[in-house]
Structure 1
Amino acid sequence: MSAVFDTLSVNLMVPTILFFILGLVAAAVKSDLSIPEGAAKFMSLYLLLAIGFKGGNSLAEHGLRGDLLVAIMAGLLLSFVIPFAAFWLLRVMTRLDAMNAAAVAGHYGSISIVTFVAASSLLELSGIAFDGYMVAVAAAMEVPAILSALWIAHRFSGDQAVGGVPARELFANGSVVLLCGAFVIGAVTQDKGMEMVAPFVVTPFTGILCLFLLDMGISAGRSLLNNRHLLNPGLFSFGLLMPITGALLGWVVGSVIGLQTGSLFLLIVLSASASYIAVPAAMRIALPKAESGIYLTLSLGVTFPFNITVGLPLYLWMAGMGS
């Protein structure tokens, strides 16, 4: 057991995670530290472009193989199934009505691309290889959870006002478009393209990620402080238990399909994370009666900080055990 804690402590001592913790501390002491909105938007676009391009370039180096399709199918399966597990846990652990439970569940079946980027950076800093096509798996896991959440809401809430989300709202989401587009460009341009943009997408990546996670730490901390009245013990416990549940499901599926340590870790992270960008936008349209304060506070204020600070090193240890 001591070896486990030694591994976790070592993996916590990286700049990206420590800058996120600094953001949480700044929010807790009510510091006026902040990142301008325009700068935060630029950093998010940069990170999506960089991780997508590098993933596409890695795919070009290794070629299109059957394991890519297997991994994407595994990601789709997890994204469809995890909302049902989340819904069941919410009904057991909390007093949320079916509508709000379905909305929350959809967030946990989808993914946090920021958590994925932080996880990829942790692998690079640790010198652990992973398959570039995991970027495609991340993109594939954005949408299915929304469909599961809508089915759950329609089936269990008894509210006939449950609507659909236009296909454009699902597939034209800015983060999905940029991530997939950069992935394709990286794959098409291959080594020549990487040589041209490496000074932009490789060298400054970790520094920009540190600054971005500082901003996310501030946002997550303030969200938790401002909405803590919404979090009863059951909901708060769910926000900590559900990522571990998703991680275990990802670990099982990834181990079955034979993913190696780095890629298995990323699948675990994707399964454990919760969306706070794409799914909230979809839920506002499809489930307007659901309380946004509940699902945003859980995903951004509870699960995201847990995953970045404790989850990532824990999931990396799990991946090492499973491969």
Structure 2
Amino acid sequence: MDMLFKKLPLLIVLFCVSCCASVKEQRGAQNESQVLKDVKTLSSTEFEGRRTGTAGAEKARKFIIERFKNLDLQSFPSFTDYIQSFTLSEKSDSSHIGENVIAYIPGKIKEAIVLSAHYDHLGKKGSQLYPGADDNASGVAALLEFAQYFAKNKPNFTLIFAAFDAEEMGLKGAKAFVADPPLALERIKLNINMDMIAHNDTGELYACGTYYYPQLKKYINSNQSSLKILLGHDNPSMGHDDWTNQSDQGAFHAKKIPFLYFGVEDHKDYHQPTDTYENINQTFYVQAVDGILEIIKTIDSKLSSQIQIDKNKVMF
């Protein structure tokens, strides 16, 4: 037999492997480019640090709303064009108004999960810009990625996508949401919050909430081999290192709604002008987004099945 024909099976195998790898790389690159592009956009100078009540914050809202509309996400009847307005203080001028951006995808069951990330940051202090790439353009970009996935893959739970305002002012957007929710609070079974998920040099992403809600531990796993998802930062004995009330999940916890909060430990660029797109860990961030999505999908599948089996259960 000719040597070419002897080698033909091997050549075919190598060609197929090469093609599959190429397709996988292209597919991954496309996913990465969108979520990274969103972080880069939201933390650009055009958005002026997204401080509550500023033109930069308004641009961020329009950006998020446009994406929600393009994905055909629904707005609650009690809100106007996805916006939930709330007062920041007793003063009535526009600089003392906050605006959450809220959308939802109806699920197969009426119970809901709130996926959240705050879009506000520190804005400008004098001439110094605080871009807030990790804090929290990273969380908002992840939220948009999850919305895109579930817009194409109908969830079991009704999924609420909440881009909260005024987190940096004391979780005021999240507190306004739970004080005046668009559906009965007892229908909300879980809050999954993302705040600072793009900047860690050792591949460590924390999932906190299982100290109070240990039943959630079984859902926290990921196929991202180089991503380390750790539990912790939720024990009250840790003092300042207890993150339970340090981001928007605190408002849900106060209402006895279980939560998972995904975030990284503080880094040198936290609340600094150097929290830029260039300083996030891009590979880690994409893996973190993929890992959190895996966990959401697992919860949506397994927890919804449990609720359907026993409709009398209030929690899990």
Q: Return the TM-score normalized by structure 2.
A: 0.33
Structure holding more strand per residue: 2
User: TM-score, with normalisation over the residues of structure 1?
Assistant: 0.33
- Considering Cα pairs closer than 8 Å and 6+ residues apart, tell me whether 1 or 2 has the greater RCO: 1
